[in-house]
Structure 1
Amino acid sequence: MLSFTNISRCQIRILESPVRSFIRNLHRGPIPVSWEKPQIGWTKLNFDGSCKGTAGKASIGGVFRNHDAEFLLGYAESIGGATSTIAELAALRRGLELVLENGWSNVWLEGDSKSLVDIIVKRKHVRCKEAQRQVSHINLIMPELQNCIVTHVFREGNRAADKLARIGHQLQKPKIWRHIPPDDILQIVHEDAKGKIVFRRR
């Protein structure tokens, strides 16, 4: 599990398990990926955006879990036409709004878009006006949290959020699940809690 010691107020970093890093550098075979629990007192948000079709129909989704890997809240919605970057940003923004609504103060934010993590962590410039709007809103919310970190994970470690984002395509209006996830997510949540490893092909 990742160490959260000495994390300052709203510190934003890219963290990687030393074991995962060692394995990645040791050989070029499949990479073992698993979802990781937050420490006691922390809430973890996994978020994702989904785009499909030539029209770029987009949707978002996310899932909150505690240190026991228990499902706290999930969300999904269709957001209309958008690029994949905007969808990812919208998914994070909506998740942060829910963080404030639920009073969580120590939050681990994790997504599978490396470019989004770079935008937030490295303050990478975005040209698109809508993307800039999303980033500005995210940057307003994050300082409100007592502690937060942002990390990247491969999609294999973000399966629950990925599934919720795809469910969002089917929804006519935004939806939130509290305490009990939708049936399509339940098995993934249980597998993540048990530390299931999914191998990523290079």
Structure 2
Amino acid sequence: MKDDREAFFVVRKGDLIGVYKNLTDCQAQVGSSICDPPVSVYKGCSIPENTEKYLLSCGLKNALYSIRASDLTEELFGTLVPCPVQQLAASRGETSSEPMTKKRSQEVVWSDYGRSCTLEFDGSSKGNPGQSGAGAVLRSDDGLWTCRLREGLGVATTSVAEYRGIILGLKYALGKGFTSIRVRGDSKLVCMQIQGLWKVKNQNIASLYEETTKLKDRFLSFQIVHILRDLNSEADAQANLAVDLAEGQVQEEIDE
């Protein structure tokens, strides 16, 4: 192992892979609840330059990175070894002092956990406030299932409509038995608040924020990222169609 100043730690939690530059951030991901998804922690000696560039190309920077397990490539992290600080694994008898080969470490760290999907959400309000609708698009990771959802909301603001979009999608995903979900939306307000980076100051939004938080906590693995508007066109289309629906009316289209 090279100088520990170049060390990094790879954490697999549910369907997400996190890369950390220090043990403090790494250990924060090892939950104490029995409801937490299984965690695997490995240590590497120097993040390859190509890996840094790849993570940056995904919009991930600073000390903490995260990617989907399905995006892993064979040469991405190089050789990894079990990390001795993984107390959770030790309690299950999973630790080993022997270095793992690249292939074997990937079999352990990147194995699938539960049913995974992607959710794209959006909201539309013609007047802000005005006639509004919520839209969501769900896709299973195996590529075999896509669902487009829309809900009429009556008169509401854009922020309310966007929250209703994510709530619509999360409820549907839970109802279909998905345990891991990656959420994408062009509402910076919703994404930053759900990540805990922005405070919720609007009383009308507070109840929707709380409902969204309770729903996300029911997933074994949850990730939310903000994307540009032009990358969210399908969910936007559903939200615009929903404006013409009666309040509370929900429509769905499923491709299998």
Measured at CA, do residues 20 and 166 of structure 1 come closer, stay the same or move farther in structure 2, by a change above 3 Å?
same
Report how far residue 174 of structure 1 moved.
1.2
> For 2:161 and 2:189, how far apart are their aligned partners in 1?
12
**Distance of 1:84 and 1:154 partners within structure 2:** 16
| 2:176 paired with 1:102 | yes
Closer/same/farther in 2, CA of residues 21 and 50 from structure 1, 3 Å limit:
same
1:143 aligns with 2:217: yes
Deviation at 1:70, TM superposition (A): 4.7
Matched, 1:83 2:151: no
* Structure 2 counterpart of 1:162, from 236, 241, 249: 236
The aligned amino acid for 2:165 is A
For structure 2, the 5+ residue unaligned runs are: 1-14, 20-28, 30-35, 38-53, 61-67, 71-111
| Of 137, 159, 177, the match for 2:253 | 177
Q: 1:94 to 1:142 in 2, by over 3 A?
A: same
Mapping for residues 1-202 of structure 1, pairs under 5 Å: 4-6=16-18, 9=36, 18-19=56-57, 21=59, 39=70, 41-53=115-127, 55-172=129-246, 173-179=249-255
On the 8 A contact 1:38/1:66 being kept in 2, the answer is no
Q: Determine the C-alpha separation between the residues in 1 that align with 2:172 and 2:154.
A: 20
Post-superposition Cα deviations, 1:99-143, rounded to whole Å, max 9, x if no partner, equal: 211110010011011121111112522233221110111111111
Aligned CA-pair RMSD:
2.8
Greater helix fraction, Structure 1 or Structure 2: 1
Amino acid in structure 1 at the alignment position of 2:182: W
How far the C-alpha of 1:72 sits from its partner, in A, is 2.1
3-state SS, counterpart of residue 17 of structure 2 = coil
After TM superposition, the structure 1 stretch with the greater mean CA deviation from structure 2, 170-179 or 92-101, is 170-179
Q: 1:38 to 1:52 in 2, by over 3 A?
A: farther
Q: Distance in 1 between matches of 2:197 and 2:56?
A: 25
8 A contact 2:150–2:239 mirrored in 1: yes
The aligned length equals 160
Secondary structure (helix, strand or coil) at the match of 1:151 reads strand
By how many angstroms is 1:4 displaced? 3.4
SS in 1 for 2:217: helix
Q: Provide closer, same or farther for how the CA distance between residues 55 and 118 of structure 1 changes in structure 2, counting only shifts above 3 A.
A: closer
The structure number with the bigger radius of gyration is 2
Contact 2:191/2:225, CA 8 A, preserved across alignment: yes
Quote the offset at 1:60 in angstroms. 0.5
C-alpha distance in structure 2 between counterparts of 1:55 and 1:5, whole Å: 40
Moved over 4 A (4+): 6-10, 68-71
Matched-pair contact (CA < 8 Å) for 2:116–2:140: yes
Q: Is the 8 A contact 2:116 2:141 kept in 1?
A: yes
What is the TM-score of this pair, normalised by structure 1? Answer: 0.69
TM-score where L is the length of structure 2:
0.55
Partner AA of 1:158 in structure 2: N
Higher relative contact order (CA 8 A, sep 6+): 1
Contact 2:129 2:158 in 1 (8 A): no
Distance 1:122 1:175, change over 3 A: same
Pairwise CA distance, 1:6: 4.3
